[in-house]
Amino acid sequence: MKSLVTLFVLYFALHSLALSTQTLSVLPKPNKISVDQNSKIDISLISNWVVFSKSFPQTHIQLNLFLDKNKQKTTNDHTQIIVFLKNNKLQKEEYTLNINRDIVIEASTEQGAFYALQTFKQLYLADQLFKINIKDKPAQVWRANMIDVARHFRSINYLKRHIQLISTYKMNRLHLHLSDDQGFRIQIKTYPKLTAISGQTSVYNDPAGFYSQTQIKDLIDFAKDYHVQIIPEIDIPAHTRAITHAYPELACDGDDTQKYSGTRVLKTKLCLQKMHLVKPFLNAVFNEITQLFESPYVHIGVDEVLLKKGFEDSETQLLTQLYQNIINQLNNQGKTVIAWEEILNFDLSGELIAQLWSGKTHFKTLAQNKQIPVILSLCKYAYFDHGYFKGQQKMTTWCNKDGVTLKNAYDMPHFSSLNVLGIESALWGEFVRTDQRADFRLWPRLLATAESSWSENQQLDFKNFVLRVDLQLPFLKSKNVEFYPHY
């Protein structure tokens, strides 16, 4: 019996050694995977790829485009078959990928087939089409990135490229922070001065801009092809200098409503004592937002509201009424409200998600007691406006003076006591003056967001993750991504 046990131990040790001979270039890490690295499809011998897919026409088109672009020239006359099969027993985002003589992909939805395609593409580009069996699905439904376009404007072309990049790593949400003190970035037809005036402002008076409703519709349609939802955020009632600059009547008498192009957070807000003006304004804004964006979620901000001394109780009551009014409006229009964690301080009803950013026990306790679903964006792990290391220039340090390293980003805590929907990393834009600087802060840390929200917690292995990050760099370079190289 002892010798039999020894044989089993020796077998599994040798098997594990064989699997480790070459790190697979798949990110995020699949849920279940088995591979025989002694058996591989030689891409250089394939002259003809034949794809069968009646159930997933969109993914079929994307695969053909990929193969046409990357097919190698060869004098051989070998045909490789790829078959897509519909399997209704699989979940919405689940897929299987089996590579043997033929390549067989199973999914129940176009989205699952798309994620299988991303895995196949990574293996193909790394020349790793081994005999392999993958069964994969996400651990979390919310796998997201937020870009602050209010402080510094990002073009539609940049956002489209970003959608393509994050979808490669199976992320499925792009949250746009569309308004703040320094700028307002979305056309609201009822209130045209929001963009005519505050669409032209930004930090340091850098080049600014805004998105027309036609451009947003085009972006949403583009994102659907990559299975990414666009989540709009109109931040109220603080972070609203751009609003009161365009419409000063929404500020309290005596409040400063001049253009603001600085980097600090102002302590001004919409005037709670002018609800007869504020409520109709917000109702009109959110009505246009809900009609424009197809996503079932709308973010309303709610963070960092400073109450007037001596009026705390009355302003809290006014805020409660304001938030409940907006929640009711958005819920009635089929939208779930997202707000930063401060929303948990209020006694509210309706479909609501809290986005935790500070990591304070107070808010985790409130979320648990109120049984409100949460998105994790804890600033020590997810705020990519911070440097990669202590003292890195032109970076913020207020949350983590030592910087948000790649390992920090990978090690986002998973709170078993909370109803966690997933993870969202955030790029605040005060010091992100160019697209190149945005890339530099996002990558490769976004790969950590992708894996820590897709892969099961017990499978997370940072050392192995870094090896696979290395293998993704040629792809990022091919997309002209100016990533931080010293992670």
Residue 21's pLDDT band (cuts 50, 70, 90): low
Q: How far is CA 340 from the centre of its chain?
A: 16
Would residue 334 count as lying in a domain? yes
Would residue 486 count as lying in a domain? no
Would residue 7 count as lying in a domain? no
Smallest CA-to-CA distance from 25 within 454, 470, 471 is with 471
Would residue 16 count as lying in a domain? no
Same domain, 97 and 194: no
DSSP 266: P
Cβ atoms of 330 and 298 within 8 Å: the answer is yes
Same domain, 127 and 157: no
Same domain, 464 and 363: yes
| Sign of the alpha-carbon dihedral angle for 308, 313, 314, 318 | positive
Same domain, 151 and 194: yes
Same domain, 152 and 129: no
Same domain, 203 and 122: no
Q: Residue 110: give its domain's CATH number.
A: 3.30.379.10
Q: Quick one: tokens of 378?
A: 């804890």
Cβ atoms of 332 and 295 within 8 Å: the answer is no
Same domain, 103 and 235: no
Residue 14: its pLDDT value, please? Answer: 41
Would residue 8 count as lying in a domain? no
User: Residue 1 above 70 pLDDT?
Assistant: no
Which phi and psi angles does 68 have, rounded to 5°?
A: -60, -35
Q: Residue 460: give its domain's CATH number.
A: 3.20.20.80
Cβ atoms of 171 and 450 within 8 Å: the answer is yes
Would residue 374 count as lying in a domain? yes
How confident is the model over 256-289, as pLDDT tens digits?
Answer: 999 999 999 998 899 999 999 999 999 999 999 9
> What is the total count of domains within the chain?
2
Last residue of a domain, one of 136, 153, 184: 136
Smallest CA-to-CA distance from 191 within 282, 72, 66, 101 is with 282
375/146 Cα distance (integer angstroms): 12
Same domain, 353 and 459: yes
Residue percentage of the chain with pLDDT more than 70: 96
Between vectors from CA 113 to CA 127 and to CA 39, what angle results, nearest 5°?
30
How confident is the model over 316-329, as pLDDT tens digits?
Answer: 999 999 999 999 99
Lowest mean pLDDT segment, chosen from 41-55, 167-181, 240-254: 41-55
Residue 17's pLDDT band (cuts 50, 70, 90): very low
Last residue of a domain, one of 98, 119, 136: 136
User: Residue 221 above 80 pLDDT?
Assistant: yes
185/142 Cα distance (integer angstroms): 24
Smallest CA-to-CA distance from 442 within 460, 456, 424, 459 is with 424
Provide the 10 A C-beta neighbour count for residue 322: 21
Same domain, 264 and 163: yes
Would residue 10 count as lying in a domain? no
Same domain, 176 and 48: no
Last residue of a domain, one of 113, 136, 159: 136
Would residue 324 count as lying in a domain? yes
Same domain, 345 and 464: yes
Query: Which residue range(s) make up the domain with 386?
Result: 142-478
90/108 Cα distance (integer angstroms): 6
DSSP 264: S
User: Residue 386 above 90 pLDDT?
Assistant: yes
How confident is the model over 2-14, as pLDDT tens digits?
Answer: 444 444 444 444 4
Same domain, 152 and 68: no
List CB contacts of 466: < 8 A, sequence separation 6 or more. Answer: 406, 487
